[in-house]
Structure 1
Amino acid sequence: MISLGALRGRAAGPTVPAGVARHLGLLTVLLLVGLFTALKSSAFLTGANLLNVSQQVAVTAVLAAGLTLLMTAGGIDFSLGSIAAVTAGVVARLIASGTAEWAAVLAGLAVGAAIGFGNGAAVTVFRVAPFVVTLATSTVLGGVALLIIDGQSVSIGDHLEGLGFGEVLGLVPATVVVAALVCLAAWLVMRWTAFGRNAFAIGGNEDAARLAGIPVARTKLLLYTLGGLLAGLGGVMLVARLGAASPGTGGLHMELTVVAAVVIGGTALNGGSGTVTGTVLGVVLLGVVANSLNLLQVDAHYQDVAVGGVLLVAAITNHLRGRISLKGFL
């Protein structure tokens, strides 16, 4: 005997897997941009260009992974790009002064984690709005980064060459492997650990989470510290890739790019919802759009307009995914 539910399932036809449906709009925009560029430029789908895009988005992906966890818990951090800039300056200065590579890298990671901890303490202990705290921190760190390098480029020579230009198995750039491992770790934390579930609970309803016994303040503090640590790692990757710490490295542009990637990927600004998969797609979309505009030789004055338009369409499409039932259209 066939149940009514089974009949309905047959009548509805095939359904889209939940994971695919969640990011269908974003995937569609990404594919359309890629298809259009491939038709206009034969260089787009070459191995060299795709590797170049992957290297360009690697640092953004590392920062965005940490921000995804934080925003899922209802937090926000606009200082990540500036933390990366400060870290890059610290690492470059230490290496230039003769400090061992590993010591300089550890010092840079420690600086990033310490700044993240400071942001978290201001938010959790002093109850200052995250937007205000991190925006102020970003402004301060922007000046600190310039002071560290004295407003000039500080070269590290051939140090950290293995990270900046090395390849794993002779195929995949080391920076891309690092970014992939960080994103995988963030995905595992969000999906399979109590810490990840706590972040979702806090973002969904902080008061209810507190009443349920979840250590809200401690969790938020750890998330801000983790975000700072990953921003520090991003700074190390930047200086390794560029071979120097220079004015303009990291900073506000990177911060806005990271936030845009996470939001486009489906993470809610008010918390309680988010996926690392969506964030990775958002990061890739930003990288593909920037690369496409360069290949198509779009005038620099129009590039920001074009990027903003694509991001707006992607964000709206992604937002509507929860309101429209895909079953009704299949």
Structure 2
Amino acid sequence: MSVTTRPEAPGRPEKAPGRPRPRVLSVLREVPHTGLIAVLLLVVVFTAVQSETFATDRNIVNILSQISVDAVLAAGLTLLMTAGGMDFSMGGNVAVTAAVAAKLLAGGHATSSAVLVALLLGTAIGLVNGLVVTFTRVAPFVATLASATLLDGVALLVHDGSTISIGTRMSALGNGKVLDIPYLLMVAVLVLLATALVLRFTVFGRDAFAIGGNEHVARLSGIDVTARKLTLYGLTGTLSGLAGLMLLSRLGSSSPGGTAGLSLQLAVVAAVVIGGTSLAGGYGTVVGTALGLVLLGVVANALNLLDFSSNYQPVSVGAVLLVAAVANETHKARASRP
């Protein structure tokens, strides 16, 4: 008994195996921060249609200037969270360093002395947080939240119930421009760029990813985890001091219960989380953080231009955080599918 095979019909060549043609959705899956960018574009388009002044050069620069202080804090927090850390006291650190610097300037001390004291004080506060987290094994969330409460109280003690004005001292930093670009914005961009380069191209950045991914394995691989953690917390403290000086130079004064403190901290955490940096550590992105900052800045500006009550500000931050976080997680889940 013989077995015969049917010849293929003429004009129907066998299909050669090959990769399917890429579809638009498949391509979008590969683009980082797709959900965040989509939300940002929706807010921008809606606000631009509703307000003629939104898309002007002056307003765009104003938005970026408004988020410059947040950007400096968010850069440090992105680096720290990548390594599995957390610092809820950065806003309180800003309040204390700004108050101390204002006190020194109002008392007639040199600007350079006030700047140096603020940076050293901010670094010291960050190192104390790092020591507590590293050697007592207290959860970073708990330790730094306690520090935030303590620092808010210290700031009130420094102010002693009154606003401290510095006049025109440091006004060049707070109001100066080069080619219509504010100095504060330039500082923020440089800090974000430096953080991105550290994460991407240095051993220190790779160590941060390794510690955040698995601290025990990182220690076994020869990384000095304790030294790295202390350095990271000290760096976040230094950037908090810098942010305090930037805020002081922009406002020209430091007041009890001002724009620093827990409200500033929550906005920074929201921007970093919206940008996709993992709360569990092991993953961080400065580009995502920058997009998160811009999104929150655009939303705040839109509320002002559209004459919404300031009471909607925290509502908008929470809503944007929730929507963008869900969008990012959905995008990650789809991108991970084969």
Is 2:198 the counterpart of 1:196? Answer: no
**What is the alpha-carbon distance in structure 2 between the residues aligned to residue 302 and residue 55 of structure 1?**
21
Deviation, structure 1 residue 152: 1.2
**AA matched with 1:22:** P
Partner of 1:156: 166
| Structure number having the greater helix percentage | 1
Which residue, out of 277, 288, 310, partners 1:300?
310
Partner of 1:309: 319
**AA matched with 1:166:** G
Unmatched 5+ stretches in structure 1? none
* Per-residue deviation, residues 198-240 of structure 1 (Å, max 9, x unmatched): 0000100111111111111111110000001001100000000
* Per-residue deviation, residues 269-289 of structure 1 (Å, max 9, x unmatched): 000011001001101111111
Which residue, out of 140, 154, 176, partners 2:150?
140
Q: Is the 8 A contact 2:28 2:34 kept in 1?
A: no
Q: Percent sequence identity over matched residues?
A: 56
Partner of 1:228: 237
Deviation, structure 1 residue 306: 3.1
**What is the alpha-carbon distance in structure 2 between the residues aligned to residue 286 and residue 97 of structure 1?**
36
**AA matched with 1:90:** V
Partner of 1:67: 77
Partner of 2:223: 214
Q: 1:309 to 1:41 in 2, by over 3 A?
A: same
Is 2:111 the counterpart of 1:111? Answer: no
**What is the alpha-carbon distance in structure 2 between the residues aligned to residue 107 and residue 306 of structure 1?**
36
TM-score between the two structures when normalised by the length of structure 1: 0.93
Q: Is the 8 A contact 1:264 1:311 kept in 2?
A: yes
**AA matched with 2:204:** F
Which residue, out of 24, 46, 52, partners 1:42?
52
Is the partner of 1:11 in helix, strand or coil?
coil
Q: Cα RMSD between the aligned structures?
A: 1.8
Is 2:265 the counterpart of 1:255? Answer: yes
Deviation, structure 1 residue 149: 1.7
**What is the alpha-carbon distance in structure 2 between the residues aligned to residue 151 and residue 101 of structure 1?**
24
Partner of 1:12: 22
Is 2:37 the counterpart of 1:27? Answer: yes
Deviation, structure 1 residue 27: 0.8
Deviation, structure 1 residue 299: 2.6
Is 2:102 the counterpart of 1:92? Answer: yes
**What is the alpha-carbon distance in structure 1 between the residues aligned to residue 54 and residue 293 of structure 2?**
17
Deviation, structure 1 residue 326: 9.2
Deviation, structure 1 residue 17: 8.1
Q: Is the 8 A contact 1:116 1:224 kept in 2?
A: yes
Partner of 1:55: 65
Size of the aligned set, in residue pairs, is 321
Partner of 2:8: none
Q: Which has the larger radius of gyration?
A: 2
Q: Is the 8 A contact 1:71 1:268 kept in 2?
A: yes
Aligned positions of 1:264-283 closer than 5 A: 264-283=274-293
Q: Is the 8 A contact 2:219 2:225 kept in 1?
A: yes
Which residue, out of 180, 197, 210, partners 2:189?
180
